[in-house]
Structure 1
Amino acid sequence: MTDTRPTHAAPDHPALPKPKIGVLLANLGTPENYDYWSMRRYLGEFLSDRRVIDYSPWLWQPLLQLVILTKRPFTSGAAYKSIWNEEAGESPLLTITKAQTAKIEQSMKERYGSDVMVDFCMRYGNPSTKSRVKNMVKAGCDKILFFPLYPQYAGATSATANDAFFAALAKEKWQPASRTVQPYFDRPDYIDALAQSIERSYAGLSTRPDILVCSYHGVPIRYLMEGDPYHCQCQKTTRLLKERLGWDDTEIKTTFQSKFGPEDWLQPYTVEEVARLAEAGKKNIAVCAPAFSADCIETLEEINEEIKESFEEAGGEVFTYIPCLNDDDAHIAALSSVIEDNLSGWIDPV
């Protein structure tokens, strides 16, 4: 529908688009490429976020700018290169997020017709949260549902995504009404989608793994002590998954990966625990990543390369990585149901 002037408005009143509701999906981010300068820009934005690294900028920024960002773009760039979607010229996270958005957009169209606009943004890199909020406002969205795609809440993920969203709203002359989505770590439909993916993977294996390792992205233990609920929500996700699968405690384990810096992080560390399991006789393991809604550098490179190597060097024989839910139909159905619940009171299904 073309833009129109409000009824009884003066002839020079600006034309306004038809009001609609925006659903803005958000994920962590992606570099534009794996070359040094692309990686430096991306890592500089990411590691300058006080939600991620909360040390005093007076101490942290000199170390970051003069030491870390001199070396780390090379190693991180090599890691990204090993998983890069060369055909599309983008990271797997971006490819998968586009696919998720397209499927959710179709799901919303079936539920609500043309009155809901679906798009995605990244907390770091592009497309930025600010640019996508601006596009939605320009398109006529007078209400926006912001959906960080993190099953479990953490200050370094969900909260910083919300920060960027609120900062983008602060720039708008006519600010839309807004809602943010709560974490969905314990929703039965999400747990069921996880369980189905594991059951499918196990069904395709010739020998059942000795144990399933649920590897979550780590955070400093200090964050837990300061009130961040992430650790507890991860533990509950694993427990609910175990109950849905009908397994006992010996068949599943929670671990944490991606430690960065000198502090103690949530433990056990995945890279160490898989080696311990191999040494203890667990020669056939499977690993999944329930904290990630889409496969990315932490799953495709860190789990399926670095962590796998740690397991094999300790004597492990069979390592199975179970992909993230990505754009799996059960996952899309669960995410769409979350959105529908959060749109309640704003719009009714057609």
Structure 2
Amino acid sequence: MLDAKSSAALTDLAPMEAKCPIHADADHPKVPPARTGILLANLGTPDNYDYWSMRRYLNEFLSDRRVIDYSPWIWQPLLQLIILTKRPFSSGAAYKSIWNHEAGESPLMTITKDQTAKIKEAMHDRYGDQVMVDFCMRYGNPSTKSKVRAMREAGCQRILFFPLYPHYAGATSATANDEFFRSLTHEKWQPAVRTVPAYFDNPKYIDALAQSIERTYAEMDSKPDILVCSYHGVPKRYLMEGDPYHCQCQKTTRLLKERLGWADTEIKTTFQSRFGPEEWLKPYTVEEVARLAEEGKKKIAVCAPAFSADCIETLEEINEEIKESFEEAGGEEFTYIPCLNDDDAHIEALSSVIDDNLAGWLSRG
């Protein structure tokens, strides 16, 4: 959780002192000193778990053609008349079960704020007042458009846009970038921009994952029979159409296995969160954990390397639905290893990625 100092730093978006250019007329608009913005982006979250908050959020999310690419003539009537009539109730109940009631927000929002505050501190240690760090959400609030505008008003003439997805997918990184570039169309003075590519094989990211697993295993009486790396799924069709997500997930698991010094039999890649009738990337986590239990692997651990922060898909789907599938099939001990969240090794990995992508724009102090 943020302390008072970090919280104040995160919300301090006021521009540095703006001044008229030296040789300009007295009535010339004041211009703030030039800075570089670092805008972190995550998936998004509903404002609350009530019906209408959930409906607004789900409508925005499920209307994104990057997420659901069926013809709108077919999809929108189904979405508006059937799915959005029923799903806000079930999704709202799921969010309520994990909601941060003390802060009045979802865990994803809380964690993203914590991550941003720590990255802001790290960037200011490196670059001082040359940088401004903030976050936005692809769906819901705070919107990408509002944060791009805030950075421009604060004097950011360059913006590094960082989708917090280790692995590239059209339905995650690409749609975040789409929204960022759409936001720039509303700016009279557009900043120079860069987008951060996927970091699925970054050594510091892999090491942070490995450390989190080693810490968890060290606290257990005996080692689990297998570690399941559960990645968010996408339709198999996306792979066949050229999306690199599947291959990047497989490489992360391989690099993690090598870093841990494990055998192939000790770690497995699966995919969760299947939606709709078509085939998705396999094996499906919910089915695979049941198969492992029936095979005699009664003690398993599950981690979620594709998620930079715990959210509904990890706290509710993995820790409840997938756990239940494992136990109903005869599994005895299920351990969920939390996402990297604001762990110091994770913050260092993300900061290192930012440093690499600021090269040529800024030099460390």
Pairwise TM-score range, normalised by the shorter structure: over 0.9
Question: What whole-Å deviation, never above 9, does each CA across 1:233-264 have from its counterpart, x for those lacking one?
Answer: 00000000000000010000000000000010
Give 1:2 shift: 1.3
Of the three residues 149, 161, 179, the one matched with 2:194 is: 179
1:113-151 CA distance string (max 9 Å, x none) = 111000000000000000000000000000000000000
Once residues 53 and 266 of structure 2 are traced to their aligned partners in structure 1, the CA distance between those partners, rounded to angstroms, is 42
What is the alpha-carbon distance in structure 2 between the residues aligned to residue 329 and residue 233 of structure 1? Answer: 24
Partner-residue secondary structure (3-state), 1:21: strand
Which of 300, 317, 334 matches 1:302? Answer: 317
Q: Does 1:16 align with 2:42?
A: no
2:120 to 98, 105, 118: 105
Q: CA deviation at 1:159?
A: 0.1
- 1:169 paired with 2:181, answer no
Q: Equivalents in 2 of 1:146, 1:259: separation in Å? A: 28
Aligned: 1:26 with 2:41: yes
For the residue of structure 2 that corresponds to 1:15, the secondary structure is coil
In structure 2, the partner of 1:65 is 80
For structure 1, list consecutive stretches of 5 or more residues without a partner in the other structure: none
Counterpart residue number, 1:316? 331
Corresponding residue for 1:148? Answer: 163
Secondary structure of the 1:151 match is: coil
SS of equivalent residue, structure 1 residue 275: helix
2:246 is aligned to 231
Q: Which amino acid aligns with 2:255?
A: L
CA offset at residue 7 of structure 1?
A: 1.6
One-letter code aligned to 1:344? A
Question: In 2, Cα distance between the equivalents of 1:17 and 1:94?
Answer: 30
Task: Give TM-score, length-normalised by structure 1.
Answer: 1.00
Partners of 1:74 and 1:285 in 2: CA distance: 32
Supply the distance in 2 between the matched residues of 1:45 and 1:262 (Cα, whole angstroms).
21
Distance 2:111 2:300 in 1: 26
Q: Which amino acid aligns with 1:205?
A: M
Of residues 335, 338, 344 in structure 1, which corresponds to 2:350?
A: 335
Cα distance in 2, alignment partners of residues 117 and 165 from structure 1: 17
Q: CA–CA distance in 1 between the matches of 2:22 and 2:285? A: 62
Q: Distance in 1 between matches of 2:22 and 2:179?
A: 35
Aligned AA for 2:269? T
Shift of 1:227: 0.4
SS at match of 1:234: helix
Q: Is the counterpart of residue 221 in structure 1 residue 236 in structure 2?
A: yes
Superposed, 1:245-264 pairs within 5 Å as 245-264=260-279
Q: 2:209 aligns to what SS in structure 1?
A: helix
- SS of residue paired to 1:74: helix
Aligned-partner SS, 1:113: helix
Between the aligned partners of 1:314 and 1:36, the Cα distance in structure 2 is: 34
Q: Describe the SS at the equivalent of 1:26.
A: strand
- Equivalenced residue count is 350
Matched letter for residue 352 of structure 2 = S
Residue number among 71, 89, 101 corresponding to 1:56 in the alignment: 71
SS in 2 for 1:142: strand
Amino acid at match of 2:307: F
**2:280 corresponds to 1:265:** yes
Find the counterpart in structure 2 of residue 160 from structure 1: 175
The residue number in structure 1 matching 2:102 is: 87
Q: 2:258 corresponds to which residue? A: 243
Please report how far the alpha carbon of residue 207 of structure 1 lies from its aligned counterpart in structure 2 after TM superposition.
Answer: 1.4
Task: State the TM-score, normalized to the length of structure 2.
Answer: 0.96
- RMSD (Å) for aligned C-alpha atoms: 0.4
**AA aligned opposite 2:119:** I
Measured in 1, the distance between the counterparts of 2:143 and 2:117 equals 18
SS in 2 for 1:17: coil
Matched residue, 1:325: 340
Give the superposition deviation at 1:74.
Answer: 0.4
Cα deviation digits, residues 51-87 of structure 1 (max 9, x gap): 0000000000000000000000000000000000000
The percentage of aligned residue pairs carrying the same residue is 81
Q: 1:130 matched to which residue of 2?
A: 145
